Structure 1
Amino acid sequence: MKIGILCAGDTEVVPFLRMMKHCKATKKSMLTFYQGQLEDIEVVALFSGVCKVNAAIAAQILIDTYGCTVIINAGTAGGIDEKLEIFDTVISTETAYHDVADDILTEFHPWKDSIYFKADEKLLEAVKTVIAKGNLNNRVFLGRMITGEQFIENNKREYIAAKYSPLSVDMETASIAHVCYVNGIPFISIRTITDTPDRSGISEFEKNCKKASQISANLVKSMLKEL
Structure 2
Amino acid sequence: MLPKIGILCAGDEELAPFLPLLDRRSVRRQAMLTIHEGWISSVPAAALYSGVCKVNAAIAAQVLIDSCRVEAIINAGTAGGIDPSISIFDTVISTETAYHDVAEDILTEFHPWMDSIWFPGDPFLLSLATQAAQDSGRPVRFGRMVTGEAFLSGPGTEAVRSAFHPLCADMESAAVAHVCHANGIPFLSIRTITDSADRSAAACFEENCRRASEIAAQVAHALLKRLAVSESCPIAKGELP
Quick check: TM above 0.5?
Answer: yes
Give the match for residue 180 of structure 1.
180
Residue 198 (structure 1) shift: 2.3
Which one of 85, 96, 105 corresponds to residue 107 of structure 2?
105
Give the match for residue 83 of structure 1.
85
Q: Distance in 1 between matches of 2:201 and 2:70?
A: 35
Give the match for residue 64 of structure 1.
66
Residue 20 (structure 1) shift: 1.0
Confirm or deny that 1:15 pairs with 2:35. no
Confirm or deny that 1:168 pairs with 2:168. yes
Q: 1:122 to 1:135 in 2, by over 3 A?
A: closer
Greater Cα shift, 101-110 or 199-208: 199-208
- 2:136–2:218 contact (8 Å) kept in structure 1: no
Structure 2-normalised TM-score?
Answer: 0.92
Confirm or deny that 1:114 pairs with 2:116. yes
Residue 215 (structure 1) shift: 0.2
> Percent identity between the aligned chains?
55
Confirm or deny that 1:95 pairs with 2:97. yes
Can you give the 5+ residue segments of structure 1 that lack an aligned partner in the other structure?
none
- 2:95–2:144 contact (8 Å) kept in structure 1: yes
SS at match of 1:5: strand
Residue 199 (structure 1) shift: 2.4
Give the match for residue 52 of structure 1.
54
Q: Distance in 2 between matches of 1:72 and 1:200?
A: 27
Give the match for residue 36 of structure 2.
34
Q: Distance in 2 between matches of 1:16 and 1:31?
A: 16
Which AA in structure 2 matches 1:198? D
- 2:135–2:222 contact (8 Å) kept in structure 1: no
Q: Distance in 1 between matches of 2:135 and 2:6?
A: 25
Residue 109 (structure 1) shift: 0.5
Q: Distance in 1 between matches of 2:28 and 2:89?
A: 32
Give the match for residue 153 of structure 2.
153
Residue 197 (structure 1) shift: 1.6
- 2:119–2:177 contact (8 Å) kept in structure 1: yes
Give the match for residue 219 of structure 1.
219
Which AA in structure 2 matches 1:203? A
- 2:41–2:225 contact (8 Å) kept in structure 1: yes
Give the match for residue 140 of structure 2.
140
Q: Distance in 2 between matches of 1:207 and 1:189?
A: 22
Alpha carbon RMSD of aligned pairs, Å? 0.8
Give the match for residue 230 of structure 2.
none
Q: Distance in 2 between matches of 1:23 and 1:130?
A: 24
Q: Distance in 1 between matches of 2:200 and 2:94?
A: 21
Structure 1-normalised TM-score?
Answer: 0.97
Aligned residue pairs total 225
Give the match for residue 200 of structure 1.
200
Question: Where has structure 1 moved over 3 Å in runs of 4 or more?
Answer: none
Q: 1:219 to 1:196 in 2, by over 3 A?
A: same
Can you give the 5+ residue segments of structure 2 that lack an aligned partner in the other structure?
228-241
